[in-house]
Amino acid sequence: MILPKFLSFSILIFSLNLLLIHNGVEALHKIYPHLQSVQALSVGVAHRTGYHFQPPKNWINERTGPMYYNGYYHLLYQYNPKGSVWGNIVWAHSVSKDLINWKALEPAIYPSKPFDKFGCWSGSATVVPGKGPIILYTGIIDENQTQVQCYAVPEDPNDPLLRKWVKPEKFNPIVVADEGVNGSAFRDPTTAWWSQDGHWRMLVGSRRKSRGMAYLYRSRDFMTWVRAKHPIHSKSETGMWECPDFYPVSVKGNNGLDTSEMGDHVRHVLKNSLDLTRFEYYTIGTYFEDKDRYIPDNTSVDGWGGLRYDYGNFYASKSFFDPSKNRRVLWGWANESDSKDDDVRKGWAGIQAIPRTAWLDSNARQLVQWPVEELNTLRGTEVSINNQKLEKGDYVEVKDITAAQADVEVTFSFSSLDKAEAFDPKWVNAQDLCAQKGSKLQGGVGPFGLLTLASQNLEEFTPVFFRIFKGENKHVVLLCSDARSSSIKSDLYKPSFAGFVDVDLDNNKKLSLRTLIDHSVVESFGEGGKTNILSRVYPELAVTNQAHLFMFNNGTEPITVENLKAWSMKSADIN
């Protein structure tokens, strides 16, 4: 869910700023009541995506109850039918056979009952064996944004498209905040899982003062839920946990697991979206079912500096198990980096990232993600480059593809790490380091990578690149997606998104990168999906057939592009 707490201050009629001060860190969010129902006169096309999901117009935020059922994938998402800023939220609904091409249906859930009259916010779907899907979601019951958990079921479970959803009077709302739970910070129920002891369990995100937490609820019949004595997990100073996600991953191989799977072959993942920072983090750990506790491994940082699915613009993600392909699919929402005036003018805001298959890395310390294989069906013309040497300062263009709508896979190699710059242990924040070094400051080994959405004379470009440093015990690899030169337009959010890559270069002096380029999206997967970054950028010159793609090296150590394959991407058939 997004921006909920601010609505309680509806005394302010026009745009509203809320400054949250949290241990010196400030988060500033705005809502725009006067723009919530303003329809665009026309839809701005320059930066619309060709294959990342977006509806024809208006505001979207996260997908809510993703699922696979009877041959269809269901994309349910938070949508404002009336305008291109947040407001009037309903659960819009699209269906797909392949997670890439989508057909729009009528909204599945919208305010209609006393228990959701003031809003239908996020939630999840659970496919109950023998019964069909049940949606759990957060209903808003009053103007103070008091939150309760509700359920909805398909009117006709035999309709393969699950077009109509009903909210039975009986049992609804199924969970209200009891004493000790903050009803203004109580939302986003997870997919439920079935336990050996005969109970369904699910989580609801919350906070107590500045401690973020996920409450655990148990039920025998999916209708009467009882809260466990303590949250399944909590962490001080993390603030409200939105959209918690909790699921098992297999210790071996890439296959996904049903959310109810338990055993020695299983580790668990807990992901939270932090309302305070608008970033997410996750840990790998152990779930003690009998104690209703989850304990993160000591290799996972539990808190602000923790692992992220994506070090860029990627929030309120959710995963689901896809039994048709035995995989866990994980999906994030990417908001805009332009201004709200731009959004009102262009008539739309928000996209969904490409769905990703996720599994546990063989080192068991992190997840690995990769775009779902169905994306490859959009690959058109292919160009390939082998053994291209790049000396310091070289730029080589990748020609003959549609550089504004492309998929690029590349492997770089180098013969020595001797020239790597020294790593200062004070550099704990990858994004700060990327901002400090960028692609323009020449280095030892790197920066090298791709220049995406580049104008012919490089007035504009979004570089995605590696820089390698010599740490005390091992080499430190930084992956950057730097939006600072992405557009000649000012008044844009142009962060230097970055993450470290957990890879051992001593035995293998290679790094790989895959980047999905889609007009205003640069979505990158470093080293096979270990470190991923989605950037939103708005070039003015490097648009449509004026966009170019380059490989570059700005480090002293020569780099070899062992192999690069780039594809012009066809547009997906969306809504």
Residue 186 or 200 with smaller CB distance to ligand NAG: 186
Cβ 200 to ligand NAG, closest distance in Å? 27
Q: Which amino acid is at 355?
A: P
Looking at 221-368, list the stretches that DSSP marks H as alpha helix, in order from N- to C-terminal side. 340-346
Q: Provide the token pair at 441.
A: 């400051």
Residue 5 or 163 with smaller CB distance to ligand NAG: 5
Cβ 542 to ligand NAG, closest distance in Å? 13
Task: Give the interface with ligand NAG as residue ranges (CB under 6 A).
Answer: 5, 142, 144, 182, 184-185, 207-209, 240, 278, 298, 315, 335, 337, 439-440, 442, 451, 463, 493, 552, 554
Do the Cβ atoms of 173 and 115 come closer than 8 Å?
A: yes
Closest CA to 190 of 262, 129, 136, 258: 136
Chain CA centroid to CA 207, Å: 22
- CA distances to 101, 111, 434, 484 from 431, rounded to whole Å, are 34, 40, 5, 12
CA distance 462 to 439: 10
Residue 10 or 255 with smaller CB distance to ligand NAG: 10
- What does the longest C-alpha to C-alpha distance in the chain come to? 70
Residue 133 or 139 with smaller CB distance to ligand NAG: 139
Give counts: helices (H), strands (E), the chain: 2, 41
Compute, in degrees rounded to 10, the torsion defined by CA atoms 42, 45, 47, 49.
110
70 Cβ contact list (under 8 Å, min separation 6): 160
Q: Provide the token pair at 103.
A: 């057909």
Cβ 75 to ligand NAG, closest distance in Å? 19
Do the Cβ atoms of 96 and 375 come closer than 8 Å?
A: no
CA distance 447 to 559: 10
Closest CA to 123 of 190, 206, 203, 207: 190
264 Cβ contact list (under 8 Å, min separation 6): none
CA distance 313 to 44: 21
> Hey, is 573 helix, strand or coil?
coil
Cβ 50 to ligand NAG, closest distance in Å? 22
Cβ 451 to ligand NAG, closest distance in Å? 6
Residue 70 or 442 with smaller CB distance to ligand NAG: 442
CA distance 29 to 16: 8
Cβ 101 to ligand NAG, closest distance in Å? 26
Cβ 563 to ligand NAG, closest distance in Å? 21
Cβ 439 to ligand NAG, closest distance in Å? 3
Cβ 557 to ligand NAG, closest distance in Å? 14
Residue 208 or 267 with smaller CB distance to ligand NAG: 208
Q: How many CB atoms lie within 10 A of CB 171?
A: 14
Where in 230-326 does DSSP place strands (E)? 233-235, 241-250, 266-274, 279-288, 293-296, 315-322
Write down the residue that tokens 């023998």 correspond to.
Answer: 130
Residue 68 or 497 with smaller CB distance to ligand NAG: 497
> Hey, is 274 helix, strand or coil?
strand
Residue 70 or 88 with smaller CB distance to ligand NAG: 88
Q: Provide the token pair at 306.
A: 């923790």
Cβ 14 to ligand NAG, closest distance in Å? 18
Chain CA centroid to CA 174, Å: 28
Q: Which amino acid is at 386?
A: N
Cβ 207 to ligand NAG, closest distance in Å? 6
Residue 319 or 439 with smaller CB distance to ligand NAG: 439
Residue 37 or 144 with smaller CB distance to ligand NAG: 144
Cβ 4 to ligand NAG, closest distance in Å? 8
Residue 64 or 96 with smaller CB distance to ligand NAG: 64
Say if residue 81 is preceded by a cis peptide, omega within 30 of 0: no
Q: Please give the full DSSP string across 524-570, using - where no structure is assigned.
A: EEETTTTEEEEEE---SSS-GGG-EEEEEE-BSS-EEEEEEEEEEEP
Cβ 360 to ligand NAG, closest distance in Å? 15
